[in-house]
Amino acid sequence: MTQALERPIYLFSIDLEDIRDMVPDGHSLEERVPVNTHQYLDFLKKQQAHITFFVVGDVARNYPELIQQIQHEGHEIACHSDKHLPLTQLNQEQFKRDLDTNINALIKAGASDIRGYRAPMFSLIAQNVWVYKYLAESGITYSSSVLPANNFQFGWAGFGKQPKAIDGVLELPMSILDNPYLEYPFGGGAYFRILPMFLIKRTFKRFFEQNKPVLGYFHPYDIDTQQKGIRFPNIKSKFYNYLMYYNRKKMWKRLNQITRLGGEMMPYQQYIQQYLSTNEL
């Protein structure tokens, strides 16, 4: 049984990835990861908050000083794969190699105490549940990789909405709208930009009133109004690609409205310690 939280919690997190690594000739485009990451860091300083950054291996290799700064400022560093390939494209041997390379890249960049993992595009689904065994073998104790609903990309509708331990790894699924026809992860990413603000605020308030944390995620590009328009990999629809750019200029206004609701931000490891102290798995 889930116990009441001492105060509302917003598990705001960053998926630190470089879209240029995922498209042909991407590095002919302007470098955007450092400037956007520094905007997030400045925002978090103003909030006096520390969070978790899920970092792709390529980003750690290209920007070790940025990884060191993130950790120096008190944030947690966790894994987000090495090449940002969906898990459905990897067999077990390839996944293990990708995970090990990701961890080693983070360590080489200066990160320590790496305990968390997030699958690219929330591609951890029922068909690749074997992932948890390899996470545990590599010292990963928690994951936030499951979208517990049907989705146009990936989703695990039968997972459930509560944290669950699998093979010794605690999975914290994304928070989704409490509407069976709109099961979207309202707390972050493109959905945070696209959904009506009244609906987002109402759902945040409802979660907080019910003593449930809101799990959300953002990327460097979510706040980037200067990025050159490119087609996002693994998104074939022109309309969905359009939505990846929609409403970026209003991101900070929206985030500030949500922070005024009083949700406390914290690293995943800190939240998990608090959760395990009051809940049985």
Maximum mean pLDDT: which of 3-7, 134-138, 209-213, 228-232: 134-138
pLDDT band at 1 (very low <50, low <70, confident <90, very high): very low
Q: What is the mean pLDDT of the chain?
A: 92
Residue 246 has a pLDDT of 77
47 contacts: CB under 8 Å, gap ≥ 6: 259, 265
Give the chain's radius of gyration (CA, Å).
Answer: 18
Q: What is the pLDDT of residues 15-27, one digit of tens each?
A: 999 988 877 777 7
Q: 102-151, pLDDT tens digit by residue?
A: 999 999 999 999 999 999 999 999 999 999 999 999 999 999 999 999 87
Fold (topology level) of 10-278: TIM Barrel (3.20.20)
pLDDT surpasses 90 at 155: no
pLDDT of residue 2 exceeding 60: no
Average pLDDT over residues 196-225: 95
CA–CA dist 248, 221 (Å, integer)? 8
Band (7; pLDDT cuts 50, 70, 90): confident
Per-residue tokens: 261: 């609701």
Least reliable range by pLDDT among 9-18, 51-60, 199-208, 244-253: 244-253
Q: Which helix (H) or strand (E) holds 93?
A: helix 92-109
Report whether 34 contacts 63 (CB < 8 A): yes
pLDDT at 3: 52
Q: In Å, what is the CA distance from 74 to each residue of 56, 69, 95? A: 19, 9, 29
Mean pLDDT calculated for residue range 173-194: 92
pLDDT mean over 181-191: 91
What pLDDT, on the 0 to 100 scale, is given for residue 4?
Answer: 52
- Any idea where the domains of the chain sit in the sequence? 10-278
Q: What percent of the chain has pLDDT over 90?
A: 77
Q: What is the DSSP letter of 9?
A: B
Q: Supply the pLDDT for residue 150.
A: 82
Q: pTM surpassing 0.95?
A: no
Determine the Cα–Cα distance for residues 138 and 160; give it in Å rounded to an integer.
25
Task: Give the pLDDT score at 37.
Answer: 98
The torsion of the CA quartet 182, 187, 188, 192, rounded to 10 degrees, works out to: 60
In this prediction, residue 170 has a pLDDT band, given cuts at 50, 70 and 90, of very high
pLDDT digits (tens, 9 = 90+) for 220-256: 999 999 887 776 666 666 766 667 777 899 999 999 9
Q: Are strands 76-79 and 52-55 parallel, antiparallel or unpaired?
A: parallel
**Any idea what DSSP says for residue 211?**
T
Render 111-159 in DSSP notation, one character per residue: -----EE--GGGB--GGGTTHHHHHHHTT--EE--B--S--SS---TTS
User: Of 24, 16, 29, whose CA–CA distance to 232 is shortest?
Assistant: 24
Can you give the pLDDT at residue 234?
A: 65
Neighbouring residues of 185: CB distance < 8 A, sequence distance ≥ 6: 122, 147, 174, 175, 176, 191, 215, 216, 217
pLDDT for residue 181 is more than 90: no
The pLDDT assigned to 239 comes to: 64
Give dist(CA 92, CA 130) in Å, integer: 8
